[in-house]
Amino acid sequence: MTARSTRAGQRPPFTATVPGFPRIGAHRELKKAIEAYWRDPALAPELADTAATLIDRRLTRATATGLDSVPVGTFSHYDQMLDVAAMVGALPARVDDIADHEPGSGSDPERDPSADDLLPTWLDRYFAAARGAEGIAPLEMTKWFDTNYHHLVPELDPARPFAADPSFLVAQLRRARRHHVPARAVLIGPVTFLALSKMADGTVGAPLDRLPELVDAYRDIVDAVADEGVEWIQFDEPALNTGHLPAGRDGEVSEQWRRLVVHAHVRGVRVLAQTYFTDAQRTVDLLSGTGVDAVGVDYVAGAAPDLSALPTSTLVVAGVVDGRNVWRTDCARALGALAEVAQSHPVAVSTSCSLLHVPHSLAAEPSLADEPELRARLAFGEEKIIEVVSLARALHHPNCERIRRNGILADAETAANEEQAEQTEQTERAGQPDPDASAAAVEHEVPRRKGGVHDRAPFPERREAQRRRLDLPPLPTSTIGSFPQTPEVRAARAAFARGESSAPAYEAAMVREILHVIDEQEKLGLDVLVHGEPERNDMVQYFAEQLDGFHCTSNAWVQSYGTRCVRPPILHGDVSRPEPMTVRWFRAAQDMTERPVKGMLTGPVTMLAWSFVRDDQPLADTAHQVALAIRAECEDLEAAGARVIQVDEAAIRELLPLRPEDRAAYAEWSVEAFRTATGGLADHVQLHTHMCYSDFESILDLIRDMDADVTTIEAARAGFELVDAIAASDFDLPVGPGVWDIHSPRVPGVDEVTARIDHASRALGPDRVWVVPDCGLKTRGWPETRASLDALVKAARKVRASL
Is 686 a binder of ligand GLN (CB under 6 A)?
no
What is the spatial distance between Cα 459 and Cα 595, in angstroms, rounded to a whole number? 23
Instruction: Point out which span in 261-269, 508-516, 520-528, 645-653 binds Zn ion (CB under 5 A).
Output: 645-653
Q: Which residues between 609 and 668 bind ligand GLN (CB under 6 A)?
A: 648, 650
- Catalytic site residue from 397, 454, 516, 743: 743
Bridge pairing between strands 150-152 and 141-143: antiparallel
Q: Work out whether 690 is an interface residue with ligand GLN (CB under 6 A).
A: yes
Cβ distance to ligand GLN smaller for residue 480 or 723 = 480
- Asked if 208 touches Zn ion (CB under 5 A), the answer is no
Site for ligand GLN in 574-613 (CB under 6 A): 600
d(CA 318, CA 304): 10
Among 23, 184, 778, 780, interactor with ligand GLN by CB under 6 A: 778
Pick one of Zn ion, ligand GLN, none as the site partner of residue 87 (Cβ within 5 to 8 A by kind).
Answer: none
Which one, 37 or 144, has the nearer CB to ligand GLN? 144
Residue 371, amino acid? E
CB of 648 to Zn ion, least distance (A): 7
Backbone phi and psi for residue 641, each to the nearest 5 degrees, phi listed first = 100, 10
Selected binder of ligand GLN within 90, 294, 489, 539 (CB under 6 A): 539
The DSSP secondary-structure symbol of 498 reads T
Candidates 300, 378, 715, 775; binder of ligand GLN (CB under 6 A) is: 775
Task: Sort 752 into a burial class: Cβ within 10 Å, 0-12 / 13-18 / 19+.
Answer: middle
Of 430 and 692, nearer to Zn ion (C-beta) is 692
Amino acid making up residue 300: V
Beta-ladder partners of 129: none
Where are the strands (E) in 264-371, listed by range? Answer: 270-274, 294-298, 315-321, 347-351
Strands 548-551 and 570-576: antiparallel
Site for Zn ion in 739-798 (CB under 5 A): 775
Q: Tell me which H or E stretch contains 736.
A: strand 735-737
- The yes-or-no answer on residue 743 being catalytic is yes
Of 692 and 725, CB closest to Zn ion: 692
> Which member of 188, 331, 356, 692 binds ligand GLN (CB under 6 A)?
692
> CA-CA distance, 430 to 189, in Å (whole number)?
40
Kindly state the smallest distance separating residue 412's Cβ from ligand GLN, in Å: 46
Interaction of residue 410 with Zn ion, rule CB under 5 A: no
Smallest distance, ligand GLN to C-beta of residue 481, A: 3
CB nearer to ligand GLN: give 598 or 624: 598
Task: Assess 735 for contact with ligand GLN (CB under 6 A).
Answer: no
Phi and psi for 769 in degrees, rounded to 5?
A: -110, 130
- Give yes or no for a contact between 384 and 321, defined as CB atoms under 8 angstroms apart: yes
Q: How far is the CB of 536 from Zn ion (least distance, A)?
A: 13
Q: Does 481 bind ligand GLN (CB under 6 A)?
A: yes
Task: Indicate which single residue of 115, 169, 651, 692 sits in contact with Zn ion (rule: CB under 5 A).
Answer: 692
CB burial of residue 122 (10 Å; 0-12, 13-18, 19+): buried
Radius of gyration over every alpha carbon of the chain, rounded to an integer in angstroms: 27
Decide whether 117 or 648 has the Cβ nearer to ligand GLN. 648
By three-state DSSP, how is residue 324 classified? coil
For ligand GLN, which stretch binds (CB under 6 A), given 166-174, 405-413, 507-515, 771-779?
771-779
What's the DSSP call for residue 387?
H
CA separation (Å) from 653 to 260, 681, 699, 703, 715?
36, 24, 7, 9, 14
For residue 287, give the H/E element and its range.
Answer: helix 281-287
CB atoms near residue 470 (< 10 Å): 17
Smallest separation (angstroms) from ligand GLN to the CB of 777? 7
Choice between 559 and 602, CB closer to ligand GLN = 602
d(CA 693, CA 392): 39
Contact positions toward Zn ion, by CB under 5 A? 650, 692, 775
Contact positions toward ligand GLN, by CB under 6 A? 480-482, 533, 539, 600, 648, 650, 690, 692, 775-776, 778
Q: Which residues are catalytic?
A: 743
